[in-house]
Each structure stands twice: as C-alpha cells, then as structure tokens.
A and B are shown apart, each in its own frame.
Chain A
Amino acid sequence: MDDGPEWGHATEFGDIAGQVAIVGIGETAYTRASGRSAREIGAEAAERAITDCGLAPGDIDGLTYSAAFADFDVAAFHDHFGTSHEMWSSPWGGGMSWAGTAPYLAAKAIERGDARHVLNVFPVAWASQRGGMTGGPGEVHASQSLKQNLEVPFGWFPQPVYFATIMRRHMIEFGTKPEHFGAVAVAARWNANRNPDAVMHGKKMDLDDYAAAPMLAEPLRLFDSCLISDGGAAYVTASLDRARDLPHPPVVVQGVGEGISGSGQHWSQQRPFTSTPQVFSAPLAFTMAGLTPRDVDVLAVYDPFTVVTIMQIEDMGFCRKGEGGPFVEEVSLWWNGEGLPCNTHGGLLSHAYVLGIAHVVELVKQLRETASAQVYDCEVGVYGGYTGMHASTLVLTVDR
C-alpha cells in the first residue's frame, strides 16, 4: 500500500516567528454536567482572559471562534459585554486543531491593522448536552450520511470504536503493547493529580487500575478514552511590542503549522491508518521557530484517546514512527519525570474534555511558570492539535 506523502498536505503559512504573543488567558471551572450553556461558559472564559491581560472588553477588537460550534461569536461578545464596537472576526479559531492555528490568524489580522488584541475562545457544554442527543461528539459524526449508511450500521461508531481499530492496527504494525497505552493514561492521571482544576484531580490511577478497567471496544479500555466535560477557556493574542507593555511576561508565538489529510472526514479510508496529519504540520512549525523536538521542554497534545498521544509524539518527530509505544514507557510523560512532560494539566484524558483549548492555556502557564504541575526551567512549549482530518502545531517560547 502506498503511504506516500500525497495522502495529505500542509497549509502554506507565512513566517510569523516572533511577531505576536499570548498576553492573557482565562478559564472557567472544568466540571461534569454543569447545566450551563456553552454561551455562558464562553462569556466567562472571555471575561477572565480579558481581565488577565489588564484590558477592557472595548479593547478587544478581534475574535476567533469555532465555525462548527459557534457558541461565542461577535454577537454573543457584544451581548455579554454591552459593547458595540467594530471587531475583526474569524470562525476558524476556537479549539481542537484550530486552538493551535488561531494565533496565526491573529498575527495576520494584527499585521494588516485589522485588530490589536485578538481573543480566541472555546466553550464546551457536552456533559450537559449529552442526555438528549442534542449535541456532543457522537451526534456530529452520526449526522453525516456516509457514516450513517456505511459505518454506523456495522457498529463502527462512535469515536471509541474508531480509535480501538486504530490502536489494533498500531499494535499490528509496530508491536505496540497494552502497557504502552496504559503508560499514557497513567501519566495523564499523574499530572491531573497535581492540578486542582482537573476533573480527575483527586482520583489516583496506576497501571493495574488501567488494566482492570472495563473494555469498551477491545483493545480500547475505559481509561484509554477521554472524559466528557463542561468548561471553556480563552486566550488573547497581541503584537510582541504591545505584549511587552502588558502585565504578564509575553508567551511568544515562534512557529505555527497545519496539516490536512486527503481522506476528508473518513478515518476508515486514511492511507496510513496509524498516522496523523501532524506529519505535515510539525516540520513546518519547528522550521519557522528555528527549533527541533529536542528543544521542547513541555508538550501538550490533543489526546482524545491514548493512541492519539502516541501517534502525535511519533508524527511530530519526538521518536521514529512506530516507536511511540516504547518511547512513552521509557521517556516519562510525567510533569516531574525529567523526560518529555506531556499534558501537564491532565489532558483530555484526565483534566477535562474541552477540546484542546486548555492545552494551549496550560502551555502559557508553564511558560509563565505559574502551572500547578510546573516543569523546571521551562522555555519552549509545543501544542499538537488534532481532529482526524486536521492537525496543527503551535510552538511557544518565553520572551528572550
């Protein structure tokens, strides 16, 4: 089978290294079902991010949010803050892969003079919505007719089942073992245990607990799978010059990349079944930043399932393809493991399922040295975003 480079491509991004910085972050509580709407959650995250950078709502003149989950758009912003000023906006921000590329959109808007302070916001209320099939990850997929007709009838649905087959194929091709997946889950929990904001903060888990948990879709166990949560976060991007006038030390955007798979929304047909479009995204982001995976002090990868952490670690170049299993076992992902600290907030697996926005916020905290699970001497942080079809890479550094 031809797994050649034509199975996907990278988006062409201009070099924005050092142009902009993240200057403010805001988070809501991360919970199981809260009864709150995504719009309320988004407003709270936005308010906290704006306060964090010492600005007022009227200073925010750019907004990026999610096209797919447009719960907090310009109208919602004005409605919440009682403002009415002109705002540049783009629906190609928010969470998932786009949590990593929103700073690029902000940099370009700032470069054109369309905005000075750009807010990226992403709220999730899936824990509250899951009851009535009125939202949530499953429905999005079931609503596509090809999936409905050619996948769902055969029980290949929802995401835990897709990723169970991806795990199985990773095991077949590379010899990856259950304890490798377990190492990812245990590391995420260890990190979450250090973070009072994590949903799984007080719940310890070791490899025995992992192995004793029920199979959802063999070989995928309960703790290979992410949580379902309510919560949201936001961050504000400004030019580096502007950032240096604001209260917090700037967290500088040094590299951005985006990779897109040619198989569209259909995981089942993706040429290399055990790879992510991170293959296309990460090299460009590292090149833009003038850095390599070896330079990374803290990593945050979109981790809906343990196999996705392993695949992204491989595809971003932290190890060779297929060696991600032994890598995560031998090179600790623990915040204090002196290996490759990864998802130090707990990730989607053990922090909250807020689709990557909290991953980027965690990196900002790490680079400000204000994280709960603070990595020693942390200067370079990288986010790996993922949706299946898309991947993104965001390289952040301290201001130097």
Chain B
Amino acid sequence: MAITRADFPLPDVSDDLVAGYFFGAAAGEVRIPRCSACDRWCWYPEAACPGCGGELVWTATTGRATLFSWAVVWRAFLPAFADIVPFVTALVALEEEPSIRLVTMIIDVSSESLVADMPVEAVFRPLRFPTVPDREVIVPMFRPIEAVS
C-alpha cells in the first residue's frame, strides 16, 4: 500500500472521481457534484447519487463558506510541508449545503484573527511543493471575506 505516485502530495488530477474539482479550480470555480435528478449535493464525490442513484454533475457554487474549524500546523508531518509551516489547514462549510465541509488552507490572513464560523471565500492558487519540482495544481483555498478591501 506504499504510495509510489511521484507527485504526492499533490492531488492526482487524473483520478476521474476528483478531477472535476481541480478542473473547476483551474476555471476559477468551486465545483461540487450535484445530482441531475434530485438536486442533492454529494460530497465526497461518488460514482452516482447516494440518494437516488442519479447522475452526478460537477456544478459551480458561489465559493462562499463559513470557517467550521482549523488548525495551525507547526510540525511538518510530511517533508513536502517543511517549508510552509506554520500554515492553517481548515474545514469550511459550504454556503449552498453547510453539511458539506471542504478541506482547504486559509490564506492571506494571520491565524490569530480567525474566528469560528466567519464567512470565507474561495481563491484559486497554485499548490506547489519543493519535493515535487516543476509541478503545480490550482486548488481552492479560502480567505476571510472581511479581509478583502
């Protein structure tokens, strides 16, 4: 079960189950699978709607969310993160469906100013790791809406 993928810990955009998330980010949108039959949002991605079996379609959201919880990571648990600690990893609850939590990073703000349930919005930034040279993937990160002037 050892991980042999050379670009780890970048996401594997060739994985059909999640590719739509990263294509969406590259196009400047937070896209989430939504059932074409019953309109239910589905996260994490699945092969078909867990409610009705309908087809799931990657669907744009507002990209707005609230800050559900976060941690300031000081220890680089993987070598790839050694240069960016401390950083803020977080769960944000999606505006369209707050039971959906996206795992993300909070950027452009000091960790001391973070407040529970504050509104945040997606910004689309390249994720790069020094351990994976010459590769990047554009991902949704989030920042507080108030921080925008």
Which residues of A approach B to under 8 Å, CB–CB?
1-2, 133-134, 138-140, 142-143, 145-146, 148-158, 160-161, 164-166, 168-169, 172, 214-220, 266, 268-269, 271, 273
Determine the residue in chain B with the shortest Cβ distance to A2. Answer: B99
Chain B residues contacting A166 (CB-CB under 8 Å) are 69
Determine the residue in chain A with the shortest Cβ distance to B45. Answer: A146
Listed from nearest, the 8 A-B pairs whose CB atoms lie closest are A164-B71, A218-B72, A155-B89, A217-B71, A165-B69, A172-B116, A149-B11, A169-B69
Query: Shortest distance in angstroms between B120's beta carbon and chain A's nearest beta carbon?
Result: 14
A161, B105: Cβ atoms closer than 8 Å: no
| Contact string against A for B residues 57-88, beta-carbon threshold 8 Å, 1 for contact and 0 otherwise | 00000000000111111110110010010110
CA distance A214 to B75 in the complex (A): 9
Given contact pairs A134-B2, A153-B10, A155-B81, enumerate 19 new A-B contacts (beta carbons under 8 Å). Answer: A139-B3, A140-B1, A142-B3, A142-B8, A149-B12, A153-B127, A155-B89, A156-B91, A160-B75, A160-B77, A165-B71, A168-B70, A214-B75, A217-B73, A217-B75, A218-B72, A218-B74, A219-B71, A269-B100
CA distance A357 to B32 in the complex (A): 41
Chain B residues contacting A1 (CB-CB under 8 Å) are 93, 98-99
A146, B17: Cβ atoms closer than 8 Å: yes
CA distance A268 to B105 in the complex (A): 14
Known interface pairs A150-B103, A165-B91, A273-B69; A145-B74 also in contact (CB < 8 Å): no
Chain A residues contacting B111 (CB-CB under 8 Å) are 218
B1, A158: Cβ atoms closer than 8 Å: no
Chain A residues contacting B45 (CB-CB under 8 Å) are 146
Determine the residue in chain A with the shortest Cβ distance to B72. Answer: A218
A153, B137: Cβ atoms closer than 8 Å: yes
CA distance A270 to B102 in the complex (A): 12
B2, A161: Cβ atoms closer than 8 Å: no
CA distance A51 to B2 in the complex (A): 38
Chain A residues contacting B131 (CB-CB under 8 Å) are none
Known interface pairs A148-B11, A172-B116; A161-B71 also in contact (CB < 8 Å): yes
B74, A215: Cβ atoms closer than 8 Å: yes
B72, A217: Cβ atoms closer than 8 Å: yes
A154, B77: Cβ atoms closer than 8 Å: no
Chain B residues contacting A138 (CB-CB under 8 Å) are 77
Chain A residues contacting B11 (CB-CB under 8 Å) are 148-150, 153
B74, A165: Cβ atoms closer than 8 Å: no
Chain B residues contacting A172 (CB-CB under 8 Å) are 69, 116-117
Query: Shortest distance in angstroms between B107's beta carbon and chain A's nearest beta carbon?
Result: 11
Known interface pairs A146-B17, A160-B77; A139-B2 also in contact (CB < 8 Å): yes
B103, A156: Cβ atoms closer than 8 Å: yes
CA distance A161 to B78 in the complex (A): 12
User: Does B101 belong to the interface (CB within 8 Å)?
Assistant: yes
Instruction: Choose from A133, A142, A216, A273 the contact partner of B75 (Cβ within 8 Å).
Output: A216
Query: Shortest distance in angstroms between A8's beta carbon and chain B's nearest beta carbon?
Result: 14
Chain A residues contacting B70 (CB-CB under 8 Å) are 165, 168
CA distance A273 to B17 in the complex (A): 25
User: Does B48 belong to the interface (CB within 8 Å)?
Assistant: no
CA distance A155 to B87 in the complex (A): 8
Chain A residues contacting B89 (CB-CB under 8 Å) are 154-156, 161, 165, 217
Chain A residues contacting B75 (CB-CB under 8 Å) are 160, 214-217
CA distance A157 to B1 in the complex (A): 17
Chain A residues contacting B84 (CB-CB under 8 Å) are 155
Chain A residues contacting B103 (CB-CB under 8 Å) are 150-151, 154, 156, 268
Query: Shortest distance in angstroms between A260's beta carbon and chain B's nearest beta carbon?
Result: 16
Chain A residues contacting B3 (CB-CB under 8 Å) are 133, 139, 142-143, 148
Chain A residues contacting B137 (CB-CB under 8 Å) are 153
12 interchain pairs (CB within 8 A)? Answer: A139-B1, A143-B3, A148-B9, A149-B12, A149-B21, A150-B44, A154-B141, A161-B73, A165-B91, A215-B74, A268-B91, A269-B101
